[in-house]
Structure 1
Amino acid sequence: MTDRTKLPPTVYLLGLTIFSLVTAEFMVAGMMPALAESFSVSLAQVGNLIAFYALGMALGGPPVTVMLLARRVSNKHALVSLLAVYVFAGALAAAAPTYLILAIARCIMGVSSAACIGLCMTICAGMVSTEMRGRALSVVLAGLMLSPVAGVPMTAWVEQHFGWRASGWLVVALALICTGLAAKRLPKVKPGSEPPLSSQWSALRSTQLWGAYITSGLIIGSTFAAFSYCTPILIDEVGVKPSHVAPLLAVYGIANLIGNMFVGRIADRHTMPALGWGLALMALALGGFALAGDLVWLNLGCFVLLGLTGVALNPAMVARVMKAAEPSALVNALHTSVITAGLAFGSWAGGAVIEQGYGLRAPLWVGAAIAVVGLLSLWRPVVFRAKAEVCT
């Protein structure tokens, strides 16, 4: 009885793998001043390093996944190979002598990361029974939630004491460990065990699926329009000491975990309300943060409220996608790509308004506006559902 209800240890390995990938993606937010000084670039250009990573995920993930599916490469072999590419690119980023090389390396990391995250979710779903799939995927996605709690503060602390390159090498070491364990521990799967590429293409014709994709992209875009620039906002606008940034990022991450646990409990039964209320609270938090002025308690309260929503809405985002289509490798990879496209746009838009001279709090207004658009993206499906119920 115990064995039937116990998750395979490899599920936790997949969660650790996603933790390493997401930490590398977000770690720039905790060390923006150091990177700007090291390469003599603006904060907006440093923020673009997050966007470059996200663009690599958005544009590179689906084509790589399609290529692997077309060649009938097994999921395990594909994951290990892409993780090896990721480790190489991460080493290049940690040793980058120029901003351009760092940007190129992060693009390559993004391409590998998108396909790896999709493969982690697909492999996880295939290792457990259907009734345990939600529980197993929540464990794997906990790696994403733990990144702001442990990963980003950890890399910020290492950067403050040993420099940003040490943080880069730390992430490379973690990814290398995950690569070795994946090669040794993941079960062997025959090539072609996944649904054929043609059926996975057919799933992408669903308008419900694309509606879910769009809302997910807007949620993450709203979050990272603000979060990408949280360090300079906290230091220069709120007056937080640089040494206090890492603990505040940890508090933000704990808020992510709490929000994720709550949303995870209601996501399956109340998917749309969870997304709607989450987006409304995001808009409120970002607007309040932008207007908080010198009120430290209000600034930090809104910062924590953003943590309770934002990325914490991930279980509802995934639940909506899983209701619209079977979570195959291509569906998962494309969902990851759309999300990161939203991240890239949010990071870029936040930096653009700073560059135009609107001030460090301007990205908060950008995030609030994107959250409102996200709310509007939910309205049309709700209207059509109501009409359908009336007709029946």
Structure 2
Amino acid sequence: MGLLPQIAQDLLPDAWAHAQDDAIAQGGVMIAAYALGVVVGAPTIAVFAARLPRRTILLGLTVAFTIGTIASALAPTFALVVMFRFIAALPHGAYFGIAALVAARLMGPGKRGQGVALVLSGLTIANVVGVPLITALGQNAGWRAAYLVVAAIFAAAVVAIRLTVPIQPGDPEATPRRELGAFRRPAVWLALLTGSIGFAGFFAVYSYVAPLTTEVTGLPAAIVPWALVTLGVGMTVGNIIGGWAADRGVLRALFLSFGVFALMLVGLALTAQHPAGLFGFLFGVGVAASALSPTIQTRLMDVAGDSQTLAAAVNHSALNIGNALGAFLGGAVIAAGWGYLAPTWLGLVLCAPGILIAATGAWITSRPVRGAAGAVTA
């Protein structure tokens, strides 16, 4: 995301020469392609992998990450890069979903939210350290060099998983039919929609941090990595808070996170012209949005019944639908000429349906269920 201007200039030279805003908006298709790969891959892999040993699955998925990222770095055209980003994303949701199950089991009863947050902290810490460093590298050595470094990190992760992750068996009772049974539960669909809509608002902002920093605040491109660090620190803090809060009341944590998220978006939209406003509210946006992630993951595990592997994986499908939707809509409002603040206001607009969907899911699961004999049960 931080390298969109460099990628657009390299792979879309004609569009860049004609209108840089349009070229950057077109470059956002790469983000959407990766996100859609997660959406497709997560349920497909999870359904058939639930019975397999979990460390074995994690190793295979990380190898696939490595190969897909190398292919992305070496692809000569924009269309091929988009295709390889889609392919590289296929293991993403299943990887993080299964890793979350491993961590939740290791943490023990009553600490599922914290186990999920522990795994997701890899993503948030990456936003503090990896994303800014890779952005700086890409700005100086080219975006392809940045992708190759990412591939090297994936390769190191293969070794780390093999050496340190304990062996855990899969679920011998799992079948594709049982896992897919989660989709018969309305509460599961509503939890997924909550994540999609909520994170669409976040990614509408996150996808265009680079032009927000340079064009709205008026800071040099060298400051973009620091803006991403600020957002990443906020995400790390929010992820820890979200995991802790989810273990003490999932729905309360969910609604509180949405409320704070809306306030932070308003603050960012009103003050982004000033460096203090940009950095302060980027931090706040990161905190609130990231607190949603372990909360929604835990909520899905609560309502999915026996379909735990699928529920853990499709959460990442939902979040990446939000990623794709946010990047697309954010690019659309920029291309429409509404400016680089427009994605922030768009994020605020998307909070309203996110809260409404979450409330509907809470209402459904709070209703008493009538048993077969006509008795009302909890």
In structure 2, relative to structure 1, the CA distance for the partners of 1:190 and 1:149 (3 Å cut) is: closer
Query: Offset of 1:260 from its aligned partner?
Result: 2.3
Q: Distance in 2 between matches of 1:65 and 1:273?
A: 29
Give the letter for the 2:332 counterpart.
A
* Aligned partner (choices 300, 306, 310) of residue 330 of structure 1: 310
Residue 230 of structure 1: how far off its partner (Å): 1.0
CA offset digits 1:154-173 (Å, max 9, x no partner): 21121233222221111101
Q: CA deviation at 1:121?
A: 1.9
> What amino acid does structure 2 have at the position aligned with 1:279?
F
Gaps of 5+ in 2: 16-22, 370-375
Provide the rounded CA distance (Å) in 2 between the counterparts of 1:66 and 1:270. 29
2:26 match? 45
Aligned to 2:18: none
232-241 vs 274-283, which moves further? 274-283
Identical columns (%): 28
Q: What is the Cα deviation at residue 289 of structure 1?
A: 2.6
- Measure the CA separation in 2 of the matches of 1:210 and 1:145: 26
In structure 1, C-alpha distance between the alignment counterparts of 2:124 and 2:358, rounded to whole Å: 24
The one-letter code matched in structure 1 to 2:9 is: E
1:224 matched to 2:227: no
Q: Where does 1:92-171 land on structure 2 (aligned, <5 Å)? A: 92-127=71-106, 129-131=108-110, 133-171=112-150
C-alpha separation in 2, matches of 1:266 and 1:57:
27
Matches of 1:270 and 1:190 in 2, distance apart?
Answer: 30
Confirm whether residue 359 of structure 1 aligns to residue 331 of structure 2.
no
- Normalised to the residue count of structure 1, the TM-score between the two structures is 0.84
CA distance in structure 2 between the aligned counterparts of 1:235 and 1:50, rounded to whole angstroms: 20
Q: Distance in 2 between matches of 1:258 and 1:364?
A: 21
| Alignment correspondent of 1:348 | 328
Q: Match for residue 306 of structure 1?
A: 285
Q: Deviations over 1:50-108 (max 9, x none)?
A: 11100000122212322445xx5433333222222221110011122211111111101
- Classify 1:68/1:383 alpha carbon distance in 2 versus 1 (closer, same or farther; 3 Å): closer
Say if 1:275 and 1:136 are closer, same or farther in 2 by CA, change over 3 A. Answer: closer
Q: Supply the distance in 1 between the matched residues of 2:177 and 2:105 (Cα, whole angstroms).
A: 19
Equivalences for 1:207-218 in 2 at 5 Å?
A: 207-218=186-197
Which residue identity does 2:7 align to in structure 1? L
**Contact in 2 for aligned 1:204/1:331 (Cα 8 Å):** no
Deviation (angstroms), 1:299: 3.4
Deviates more, 1:37-46 or 1:73-82: 73-82
* 1:372 and 2:352 matched: yes
**Which residue pairs with 1:31 in the alignment?**
3
The alignment's TM-score, normalised by the length of structure 2, stands at 0.87
Name the residue aligned to 2:182.
Answer: 203
Secondary structure of the 2:337 match is: coil
The C-alpha deviation readout for 1:135-162, integer Å capped at 9, x for no partner, is: 4333222112212111211211212332
Moved more, 126-135 or 219-228: 126-135
Q: Which amino acid aligns with 1:118?
A: G
Which segment drifts farther, 157-166 or 346-355? 157-166
The one-letter code sitting in structure 2 at the alignment partner of 1:57 is V
Describe how 1:54-65 pairs up with structure 2 within 5 A. Answer: 54-65=35-46
Partners of 1:83 and 1:382 lie apart in 2 by: 35
Match of residue 319 from structure 2? 339
- C-alpha distance in 2 between matches for 1:227 and 1:94: 22
Question: Does the C-alpha gap of structure 1 residues 255 and 190 become closer, same or farther in structure 2, counting only changes over 3 Å?
Answer: closer
CA contact (8 A) 2:72 2:81 kept: yes
Decide whether aligned partners of structure 1 residues 296 and 331 sit closer, same or farther in structure 2, where only a CA change above 3 A counts.
Answer: same
Question: What SS class does the counterpart of residue 195 from structure 1 fall into?
Answer: coil
Which 10-residue stretch deviates more, 310-319 or 120-129? 120-129
Cα RMSD, aligned residues only: 2.5
- Cα contact 1:76–1:189 (8 A) shared by 2: yes
